[in-house]
Amino acid sequence: MPYTDLLRLTVFLTGAEATALGAIAAIAAGRDDDATTVLVAAAWWTIALIVGLRLGRPSRAADGVRDVLAQARTATSLPDETPARIALGRLWPIGVTAIVAGALGFLFPGVAAIGAGYALLVALAMRTREAAVLGIEQRDGVKFYVIPNSALRPIELMRTPGLRSDRLRA
């Protein structure tokens, strides 16, 4: 699975998690007439929005992927695993946290509200990393692929030869 696809999928899934948990928090708080949870959620979501936008600035995107790209092994063939299996193996914690926080959110709306803010922060912080990796791939004429391993271990990549850009360099 290309690393850029995994980054894009991570942002989409955490954004979907934030949306679902936010809806659960709003429904549960409205059902219980819980104004305190709504006010705390609004404050936390605003803070998460500001922090996520700040962490996801394009100038910081390369910093977020620098180490993992530098440690990528060079290979001439792709992993045997299918992209769907690699994505599921790497991203299952997002689904688990969404399900657990969503289930608890119907009983305790604050849990869903806090989970939604955290997912929002992560989605916004990671939104520019795909562009940073694409820029490096185009500049160096390589492609980065995810090596299948546990989601509980740091991500490992392999670098394969790609198509070099024929752009004129100024």
Please report, for the chain, the start and end positions of each structural domain, with discontinuous segments joined by +.
3-161
Based on C-alpha coordinates, what's the Rg of the chain?
19
Q: How far is it, in rounded angstroms, from Cα 132 to Cα 124?
A: 15
Other residues' Cβ atoms within 10 Å of the Cβ of residue 118: 19
What is the pLDDT at residue 164? 58
Other residues' Cβ atoms within 10 Å of the Cβ of residue 66: 12
Residues 6+ apart with CB under 8 A from 37: 25, 29, 109, 110, 113
Nearest 10 degrees: Cα torsion 55, 60, 63, 64 = 40
Residues 6+ apart with CB under 8 A from 102: 20, 21, 24, 112, 115
pLDDT (tens digit, 0 to 9) for every residue of the chain, 170 residues total? Answer: 999 999 999 999 999 999 999 999 999 999 989 899 999 999 999 999 999 999 999 888 888 888 899 999 998 877 788 889 999 999 999 999 999 999 999 999 999 999 999 999 999 999 999 999 998 888 888 999 999 988 899 999 999 887 655 554 44
Distances from the Cα of 14 to the Cα of 33, 119, 150, 166, angstroms: 28, 5, 19, 36
